[in-house]
Copies of this chain bind each other. A is one copy, B any other.
Amino acid sequence: MKLARRMLKVQASAIREILKVTERPEVLSFAGGLPAPEAFPVEALQRAHARALETDPAGSLQYGPTEGYGPLRAWVAERMTRRGLPARAEQVLITAGSQQGIDLVGKALIDPGDLVAVEAPSYLAALQTFTTYEARFAVIPTDEEGMRVDELERVLRTRRIKLIYLVPTFQNPRGTTLTLERRAKVARLALEHGVAVLEDDPYGELRYCGAALPPIAGLERKAPVIHLGSFSKTLAPGLRLGYAIADERTIRALTIAKQAADLHTGALSQRAVAELMGFFDYDAHLDALRRLYGARLSAMLAALGDFPAGTTFTRPEGGLFVWARLPAGIDAQQLLADAMRERVAFVPGAPFFPSHPQRDTLRLNFSNRPPELIAEGMARLAVCVERRLREARAVA
């Protein structure tokens, strides 16, 4: 544990430093995973909080059940049933964001030394969370269609895997989406091998083109899949509201873990969001959000198209991130130093790899800036890349 903790500390500090520096107001930052604050439904949330505190002040302010507020659990179950994951309210646990869902799964399932199969690259804070439970990682490569499920199958045959963790839809950090065929295969493998799957889906509702795909958790009724969702990207992250959906037995185990972690999620936030869903056109709000972010994604992809030859990048259909690979093996950490001088920032890709980092990769967030600033920031970054390329040629 001590070593794991030390590694975690170094890694976490490095990222925190990057984010702290890059969030300075004068920096055009594409580093964080921040939703656009101008898209927060402020008035609706004001009204929802006021209503919750007015109609049931005691309930909004008192201790509540660890499982979550009944009407919100029911709302999530009903919506997810329509989105292809049939669920009852009893199968829903309300969490403090989907990050807490990852932590509770770690607490409830992971014993020290257990192997977790993860994508390379993978969501950094999930790697960190599993590390706090002393997990080891079985690293599964990815391609343009997400996790290489053939590799997963090979690993499942030869190693004793405790949990498969993946972000199948608009992955963090790569933005890629697992195909329907691969989803079905993951669900089948989970069932066959009796290995739990953690399907982390904070971006699923943010699709800007292409057809929606069903959650893995909805594909094989008896497969042990835990599905995590969040209101952070669709309403507001400051509410700290997410949910886990699984079979009732798993939900009971996660509930016990949550009781030990923080007793329950904020009662007022839960009631406010349940109130909001009664008067607010959530689907129209999501449509507006999709138009807003879709335009930003287009701007980002167009700008990347003007990068020096040899630059490659993913073409996500939704979510918050594009992933790029620099030409001629340029080190993204070194590029960041150049970029910061031009007041533009991103996150180097290396920390997202549980092992064997690709140092010429980077993650770009496009949700937090309007198209014109994306164009401006990416133009500055392209100049930095060109300069590095010229220097590399001069040396060669």
Contact = CB atoms under 8 A, between A and B. Distances in A.
A34 B63 contact: yes
Contacts of A131: 260
B263 A99 contact: yes
- Contact-size category for A: 35 or more
B40 A261 contact: no
A61 interface: yes
Contacts of A64: 238
Nearest to A58: B37
Contacts of A111: 1-2
A16 B65 CA distance: 10
Interface string A15-38: 010000000000000001111011
Interface string A241-268: 0000000000001001101111111111
B262 A96 contact: yes
Contacts of A389: none
A236 B261 CA distance: 18
Contacts of A12: 256, 259-260
B57 A40 contact: yes
A253 B240 CA distance: 22
A61 B269 contact: no
B260 A239 contact: no
A328 interface: no
Central interface residue in A125, A129, A240, A260, by most chain B CB within 10 Å: A260
B5 A238 contact: no
A155 interface: no
Contact of A46 (B35, B54, B103): B54
B34 A45 contact: no
A265 B33 CA distance: 17
Contacts of A128: 259-260
Contacts of A5: 108
A45 B125 CA distance: 33
Interface string A264-296: 111111000000000000000000000000000
Central interface residue in A99, A253, A268, by most chain B CB within 10 Å: A268
A49 B42 contact: no
Interface of A: 1-2, 5, 8-9, 12-13, 16, 32-35, 37-38, 40, 42, 45-46, 49-50, 53-54, 57-64, 96-97, 99-100, 103, 107-108, 111-112, 125, 128-129, 131-132, 232, 236-240, 253, 256-257, 259-269
Closest 3 CB pairs of A and B: A238-B267, A61-B236, A37-B58
